[in-house]
Structure 1
Amino acid sequence: MQLFLAPMEGVVDYQVRDLLSALGGLDGCVTEFIRVTDSSLPRRVFLRYAPEIEQHCLTPSGTPVKVQLLGGQPEPVARNAQRAVAAGATAIDLNFGCPAKTVNKSDGGACLLREPERVHAIVAAVRNALPDAVPVSAKIRLGFDDASRYLDNALAVYEAGANELTVHARTKRDGYRPPAYWDYIARIREAVAMPVIANGEIWSPEDFERCRAVTGCDRFMLGRGLLARPDLARAIKAQVAGEEYTPMPWREVCQMLHRYYRMSQPHWGTKNASKYCGNRIKQWLMYLQRQYPEAATFFEQIKREREPARFEAAFRQAA
């Protein structure tokens, strides 16, 4: 059984991958999507989104990282997949699931699910452009407005030669509203002879067990659930192994957030650090409130703060 950290644009950057993979339980991560247009991206772009490529595409704790690309035209996506591999990427993932309106209006993400033949063309172009030793995977939703073509899209990915498929068990229209329709994943898994990763509404070890029972999968992707409970992967692995497990206490979560705040400052630079670093902490706290009541209290303390000194004082007090 394997667990993966989901790519979440604007949320899961390389520092979050570092922190969460260091806690244990994760078997892989996927970067935020790298937008592909007609141009050939320089190496610095791949490094910005995936600095792990300089370390054999591994996080500091040794967890493998896939580079994810998003685009609507086969040739540019394939060409930039080659450039990503030349830069150091060891696996390529293709995004057909992003629900953002700005992305969909630019011919990327979930809008392509309305045309399975285009999904096939993009996956096939990338697969044909790369050595067999470089895995190519894709992430889809059940559809755009509805799930009427869910199987067409899954088969498009499979027949184009992909090595693996992640299915977020909702349509674009569903957004992130529960429930996740895991039964569709079970049907996809029966229709394609490749590994299928189940994604959507896994917030607890109990949710994991229900998802596994419905889908029959042995690979799962955790997104918001892992942000709400940073040790979720570790807790799931312990449950599967039949081991007793003590959940991560708030004090340790707060210490991790503090590390993230300090790690982020050099990335954003002196001018922007006070704004963006604080905003990332506030964003993460919104997820953590689901599992930790203390996160709501901490959020109230810092929600109007921007100055680093005040954040540091708040962290010391909270821990």
Structure 2
Amino acid sequence: MPSPSSPGAFFYSQVIYHPPLPTKKLTGQTVIVTGSNVGLGLEAARHFVRLDANKVILAVRNLEKGQKAKQSIVSSEKTKADVVEVWKLDLGDYRSVKEFTARAQGLERLDIVIENAGILTTKWSMMEENESTITTNVVSQFLHAIPLLPKMRETAIKFNTLPRLVFTTSFVHWLTKFPERKEDKIFAALADPKKARMGDRYNVSKLIEIYCVQELAELQSASQKEGRVIINHVNPGWVVSEVMREWTGLKQMIFRIVRSLVARPTEVGARTLVNAAEGGEETHGQYMDDCGVGKRAPLVITEEGKAIQKKLWTELSQKLESIQPGILQNI
């Protein structure tokens, strides 16, 4: 089969392959899904409710839209209203992220976390001390995920389970050459508007996220702390969503036509997130693609890629510690 970056492989994945409907029951479990008022996050949350999760937390930026998403799930799955909760989470605001993780410490258990929220924009703007895409798709992902690990380990020990931390990444990491990797300070370069390549920024953010997920998984494996947590990341494929809502006119029309021909329905794409959340030891640190361990771009797996991973993690660690001192002790 061609590499995932080839037209043949892309066509096979998008048109021929059909992710199976998840059937593994999650009775009694607690799940958090970020970015779950629309799109992949909403449909993944709907699946988790269907699979009998005891509590599904919709982590959303807009509480009103989150409540509408909750009602949609309660109605379609004919479940009790208290199964679905709506919590505030704005990945563009570090205070919001820290408030969410502090609140999560009060949960009785935490079995699954889906780090799904993200943005795609070609417009330059700053959020906190980074360009908005980097803040949302990278820094805040880990500012949110790492403090949740102790609760997940506690769950593993108390309930004899195997919690999963899943990041939604993407096949688009194949599409960037990531020239910023050659900068002395990568995050600083990405925060410089004079150096910004916003047309490639989403691809870059997903590649950086992959590097950092892999490093986090390696550190988790090396930790001597009790309680095993599986950490992986998943490519949902090209899915029907509003992620390209910035595009207008002829560009938007062409995009919608092509999308209608090859993009997965949102519910079908969401199955891949649930599949990753069912993954066993063999998925730890892995890139999940078409409900199996997939191929990563050469820039990830070469010796150069391994060095980039270490460099990015060092820079990210410094950022995280400056935002929340002591955060790395949670790993």
TM-score normalised according to structure 1 size: 0.34
Greater relative contact order, per chain length (Cα 8 Å cut-off, separation 6+): 2
TM-score normalised according to structure 2 size: 0.33
